[in-house]
Each structure stands twice: as structure tokens, then as C-alpha cells.
Amino acid sequence: MPHPWIADRMHTFDSSGIRKVFDLAAKLEDPINLSIGQPDFDVPQAVQDAAIQAIRAGRNAYSPTQGIPALREKLAARVAAELPGQDRKLFVTSGTSGGLMLALLTLVNPGDEVIIFDPFFVMYQALVGVVGGKGVLVDTYPDFRIDVQKVAAAITPRTKAILFNSPANPTGAVASAAEVRALAELAAERKIALVSDEIYRLFCYDEPFTSPAQFNPDVLVIDGFSKSHGMTGWRLGFAHGPAPVIDEMLKLQQYSFVCAPQPFQWAAAAALDVDMQGHIHEYRAKRDLIYEGLREKYEIARPGGAFYLFPKAPWGTGSEFVARAIERGVLIIPGKIFSRQDTHFRISYAASEATLRRGIETLCELADPVRFSSMYKKQPRS
């Protein structure tokens, strides 16, 4: 029986299943943790030093709502170089999650429809529900490609926005330039807001990153530093797009987040000068290691970016397979958290090579239900 004080919007979604696995990880001894969607490298030393320096210099008060000039100017210069000739406005957000919340509150009225690609980042459906919208899922199985004809067929008079994420969480799929262009042009033609979540843009391994903003100047881009620089706990993001939308998001930020943490904004300005390509090369190698280690046992679409694989469970439902894997100490995430289907599971390869090799070995054993069943009976895990 829900408490009578609780607002109806809170019943539109459940607590994150990913967080439940995180809580479980703390209770297991030496788990093979392939669940965490954050880099396993630390914040670069120069960025740490900049944060400490800012704190000790007394830069601990509120910043301007839109962010400190030192960071905004650097970001704006980078955006202008990538998207020349566009009149885009930019501000600093409290992480990309904060940016997404502000975007949906600004764009979506109760009853409006928002197109979401399935599988989707777990937060998308919840945020759309919180603002009173209706998520309309467009299927991308089995290869997780964007079919613009499916998107066009899903558009109704109530469609207000499309949520797009490439490289994608949970699949690691990177939309091709042709797919991105077709989606951007469709949004422009139908006068629908296209929100591009580009938090994994640095993690593209096989082809250059393509933003839909290259083909449609009205695309609203949400980006940040959490994944690219290992700053997940620092809550630093930014948004850029058409001035009328950004102005409304800024107005809302004044009455919600107020501003992003000022010391970390100074650190983010320093982060823009740090070359992260060494880490990207390492993650490409991790992608190749785990994909090659599992592909003969699992049906997997080869991921082109981010740091996730989304294999199909080799037997049972995705949830059943994940439950058995966790019993063996392998922490992975059931696919139904990201999808209306319960057929797959998510692996994060943001882990050490030793952890990945342990995970490959155990997952290959688990792929054979008959062999694993006999092993499991002989050697039950305590």
C-alpha cells in the first residue's frame, strides 16, 4: 500500500536495478565485477591538482548558474570548431543526468510522447515518466542499428522529442554517419526536438564520432566529463543547442541545481587540455579482448564504442542467466532493466584485464547449461 503522501509520478518507475547490483557487489567476496558503468582509471593528476588548487584558492561559493567563464569559453570554442556557422548557446550542468532532467522538464508537457530506442539507458524511461510524458519504444534488435523508417512510423501528433544516445549504453552501438544524418533530418522535417546524449563520444573505436547536430542546428546536445575523464562523482556536464531552449533550461537550473560544483568546474577547464587518447586505446583493446573471448559462445553484436557489450543469454531468460552468473560471482546486469525484452544482459568492460579474463572464463563455462549444471552441483558456491 503506497504512502498517501507520495506523488503519483513516483509510481511510474522503480529504483535502479543497476544500483541493486552495486549493493550486492559490496556483500560478495572478490566478485568478478562487470557491472559498473564507469571508467576504471582515475581522474588525471593535472585535473585533480586543478580541483585542489581551486578549493584552496577559495573558489568554493556558488558560480554563475551558466557556469564559470573559464570553462564555458573553452567549451564554446570547441563546439564552434566542430559545428561552424551555428548559433548555439551553452551552459554547464550538474552532470549529464542533470542536463537530461532539465531538457525533458523544458521540452515535454504531460501527455507528450518521447521516442526512445530499445535497448535504452535506464534513466530515459524514468525521466520521461517523471515529467508526465509517454515513452514510445522503437526496437533496434538484433544488431542495435537505427532504422529511420521505424522512427518515422512511430511519430504521432503527440510526439515531442526523440532521445538519442551514440555510442550507446547498454549496447556499445555507434550509429553510422548515414543513420545519424537520416535521424537528424527526420527530426528537422517533422519539427521534433532531437536530444543527443553524447557522454560516450570519446569512446569510438572503429569510426569517427558523428553528432546529429552536424546536420540539424536545432539538436540539443547533452555531454559531460564523467566518462571521458573518470569524473563520475564530480557531477560535471554541459548542454548546448538553440538559445530559446537553453535559456529555459538555465531558468530551471536556477530553481533546482543552482549551479554545478564550482571547484570542479575549474578542474574541468583543465581537463579539456588533457589528452585522453591513451585510455581510449586501452579501452579499444579491452573491447577486443572480451568480444573475441565470448563471441564463439554468445550471440553478440560487436560494439563500436562506449565500454559495454550486450550479449544474448545463451539459455533461459536474461534475468535467469544473470541470477546464475551472480551465484558464480560474476556481476552483470539483466537486459530487462534497459529493455522491454528479457533476452540479453549487459557487460561493462571498464575493468582490469585480469578481471576481464576471469569474467571470460566463467561466462564461457556458463554458456553451456548442461556442463555448467553438472559443475554447479559438484561445486556449489557458498
Note whether 160 and 243 are same-domain residues: yes
Helices (H), 12-156: 17-25, 45-56, 69-82, 95-107, 122-130, 148-154
Domain boundary (207, 236, 271) is at 271
Range of the domain at 343: 8-43+276-378
Note whether 253 and 287 are same-domain residues: no
DSSP 212: G
At 35-47, the pLDDT tens digits run 988 999 999 999 9
Residue 29 lies in a domain: yes
CA atoms within 13 A on the CB side of 373: 4
- The domain that holds 67 is classified in CATH as 3.40.640.10
pLDDT of residue 106: 98
Residue 338 lies in a domain: yes
User: Residue 377 pLDDT more than 80?
Assistant: no
C-alpha cell at position 10: 513516483
- The mean pLDDT of 317-334, rounded to a whole number, is 94
User: Residue 374 pLDDT more than 60?
Assistant: no
Residue 200 exposed, middle or buried by CB count within 10 Å (0-12, 13-18, 19+): buried
Residue 104 lies in a domain: yes
DSSP, collapsed to helix, strand or coil, labels residue 380 as: coil
CA distance 182 to 148: 6
User: Residue 297 pLDDT more than 70?
Assistant: yes
- The mean pLDDT of 307-325, rounded to a whole number, is 96
Determine if the pTM surpasses 0.85. yes
Note whether 157 and 262 are same-domain residues: yes
Residue 3 lies in a domain: no
DSSP, collapsed to helix, strand or coil, labels residue 22 as: helix
Residue 67 lies in a domain: yes
pLDDT of residue 11: 81
User: Residue 380 pLDDT more than 80?
Assistant: no
Number of domains in the chain: 2
Is-contact 247 90, C-beta < 8 A?
no
Note whether 329 and 233 are same-domain residues: no
pLDDT of residue 378: 47
CA distance 327 to 363: 12
Domain boundary (250, 271, 292) is at 271
Q: How confident is the model at residue 379 (pLDDT cuts 50, 70, 90)?
A: very low
At 182-208, the pLDDT tens digits run 999 999 999 999 999 999 999 999 999
pLDDT of residue 314: 97
Domain boundary (225, 242, 271) is at 271
Note whether 213 and 355 are same-domain residues: no
For the ranges 65-69, 289-293, 364-368, the lowest mean pLDDT is seen at 364-368
Q: How confident is the model at residue 25 (pLDDT cuts 50, 70, 90)?
A: low
pLDDT of residue 22: 61
Note whether 159 and 179 are same-domain residues: yes
Residue 53 lies in a domain: no
Q: End-to-end alpha-carbon separation of the chain, Å?
A: 36
Note whether 114 and 213 are same-domain residues: yes
Q: What percent of the chain has pLDDT over 70?
A: 93
Average per-residue pLDDT for the chain: 93
Residue 198 lies in a domain: yes
For residue 64, is the peptide bond before it cis, meaning its omega torsion is within 30 degrees of 0? no
Note whether 125 and 244 are same-domain residues: yes
- The mean pLDDT of 262-288, rounded to a whole number, is 97
User: Residue 328 pLDDT more than 50?
Assistant: yes
Note whether 111 and 200 are same-domain residues: yes
User: Residue 82 pLDDT more than 90?
Assistant: yes
Note whether 70 and 164 are same-domain residues: yes
- The domain that holds 355 is classified in CATH as 3.90.1150.10
Note whether 140 and 239 are same-domain residues: yes
Residue 2 lies in a domain: no
- The mean pLDDT of 137-143, rounded to a whole number, is 97
CA distance 1 to 58: 49
- The mean pLDDT of 145-158, rounded to a whole number, is 98
* Phi, psi for 345 (deg, rounded to 5): -150, 155
CB neighbours of 285 closer than 8 A, spacing ≥ 6? none
Note whether 88 and 170 are same-domain residues: yes
